[in-house]
């Protein structure tokens, strides 16, 4: 039986250097002197027989070997940190913790009411919201960062199981005093002619880039990336552009006033919400029980 040559301290060091880009800041993050961390880095490279970082301008960047070790460090340290968190939960009567991720398009207005009912039926299951996986929930599932996510659009991916939740409508969102407000629907060319506010510019399957802009061969000439729903809505409400958003996500912002909506094309645009888990999730696991509760609830009405 072989034993690892590196310790958790080496993994913490690699993660810290990758995150900060330098030995000095990484040393401060892990509570060491700069010389001690430099010594630890040289020790790890000696044990592995390969350089882990190289300097690009003023930053330390992982080599190929460093990237592989960084991935392992994030998985291993993340699991240890989650285990410690779970053990803390056990001390207050929670037997299981399900980590719930949410994609960028999602909202949280429905969650307090749903979780209050779920906790009443499953008092031994705690729910932790993981906010930093909105752009890559499928990767987070595979790496074990989360146990379940709510996503919209197509889900045909290896190693992933989906439970349908409900079908939603996508709509164009604009300020209530916008010149296009009052139209029942907008054509793709009309939408593309306006400044467009989006979460990010990485095209997502089954959404407006694929089904509107690419399909009709039109693209917005001015795009503002806002990152999260609150920022997207704030920019739209301030008159700096329009966007396309699921009605479920938009509902609490629409209730606040100041916004108008229109259908995406005359035929409209629909999107499916689904709960996704790892394909090997046990039928009676806490995550599967949460997924079934989500599927049974009328989330669209919450």
pTM of the model: 0.68
pLDDT for the residue numbered 1: 59
Q: Contact, 229 vs 152, CB < 8 A?
A: no
The two three-digit tokens of residue 88, written as one number: 């803390």
Q: Which part of the chain is CATH 3.40.190.10?
A: 93-157+272-301, 166-271
Instruction: Give dist(CA 144, CA 302) in Å, integer.
Output: 28
Task: Look up residue 32 and give its DSSP letter.
Answer: -
Residue with tokens 């400044």: 195
Q: What is the pLDDT of residues 80-89, one digit of tens each?
A: 887 777 776 6
pLDDT for the residue numbered 3: 77
The 10 Å Cβ neighbour count of residue 107 is 18
Q: List, as own/partner pairs, every contact residues 230-236 make where C-beta atoms lie below 8 angstroms and the sequence separation is at least 24, other chains included.
A: 232/197, 232/198, 232/199, 233/173, 233/259, 235/197, 236/173, 236/174, 236/175, 236/197
Q: Contact, 10 vs 44, CB < 8 A?
A: yes
Is residue 273 classed as helix, strand or coil in its secondary structure?
strand
The 10 Å Cβ neighbour count of residue 215 is 12
Q: Which part of the chain is CATH 1.10.10.10?
A: 8-75
Give the whole-number percent of the chain exceeding pLDDT 70.
Answer: 94
Provide the pLDDT confidence category of residue 93 given band limits of 50, 70 and 90.
low
Select 8-75's CATH number: 3.40.50.300, 2.70.98.10, 3.30.230.10, 1.10.10.10.
1.10.10.10
Strand partners for 185: 263
Provide the pLDDT confidence category of residue 134 given band limits of 50, 70 and 90.
low
Provide the pLDDT confidence category of residue 178 given band limits of 50, 70 and 90.
very high
Q: Contact, 23 vs 34, CB < 8 A?
A: yes
Q: What is the pLDDT of residues 15-55, one digit of tens each?
A: 999 999 999 999 998 888 999 999 999 999 999 999 999 99
Q: What is the pLDDT of residues 245-265, one digit of tens each?
A: 999 999 999 999 999 999 999
Select 93-157+272-301's CATH number: 3.40.50.620, 3.90.550.10, 3.40.390.10, 3.40.190.10.
3.40.190.10
The two three-digit tokens of residue 196, written as one number: 């467009």
CATH topology of domain 166-271: D-Maltodextrin-Binding Protein; domain 2 (3.40.190)
Instruction: Give dist(CA 27, CA 272) in Å, integer.
Output: 46
């Amino acid at each position: 039986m072989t034993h690892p040559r590196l310790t958790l301290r080496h993994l913490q060091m690699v993660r810290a250097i990758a995150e900060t880009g330098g030995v000095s800041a990484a040393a401060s993050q892990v509570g060491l002197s700069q010389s001690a961390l430099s010594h630890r880095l040289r020790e790890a490279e000696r044990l592995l027989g390969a350089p882990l970082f190289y300097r690009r301008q003023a930053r330390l960047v992982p080599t190929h070997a460093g990237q592989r070790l960084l991935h392992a460090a994030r998985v291993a340290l993340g699991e240890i940190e989650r285990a410690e968190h779970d053990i803390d939960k056990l001390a207050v009567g929670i037997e299981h913790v399900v980590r719930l991720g949410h994609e960028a398009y999602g909202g949280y207005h429905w969650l307090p009411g749903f979780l209050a009912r779920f906790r009443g039926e499953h008092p031994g299951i705690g729910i932790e919201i993981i906010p930093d996986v909105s752009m890559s929930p499928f990767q987070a599932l595979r790496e074990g960062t989360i146990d379940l996510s709510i996503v919209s659009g197509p889900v045909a991916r290896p190693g992933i199981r989906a439970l349908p939740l409900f079908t939603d409508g996508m709509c164009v969102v604009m300020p209530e005093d916008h010149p296009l407000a009052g139209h029942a629907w907008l054509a793709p060319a009309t939408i593309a002619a306006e400044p467009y506010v989006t979460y990010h510019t990485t095209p997502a399957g089954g959404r407006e880039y694929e089904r509107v802009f690419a399909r009709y061969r039109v693209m917005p000439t001015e795009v503002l990336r806002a990152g999260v729903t609150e920022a997207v809505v704030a920019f739209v409400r301030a008159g700096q552009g329009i966007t396309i958003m699921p009605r479920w996500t938009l509902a609490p912002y629409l209730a606040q006033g100041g916004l108008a909506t229109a259908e995406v094309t005359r035929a409209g645009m629909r999107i499916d919400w689904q709960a996704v888990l790892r394909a090997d999730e046990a039928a009676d696991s806490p995550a599967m029980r949460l997924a079934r509760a989500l599927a049974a609830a009328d989330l669209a009405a919450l």
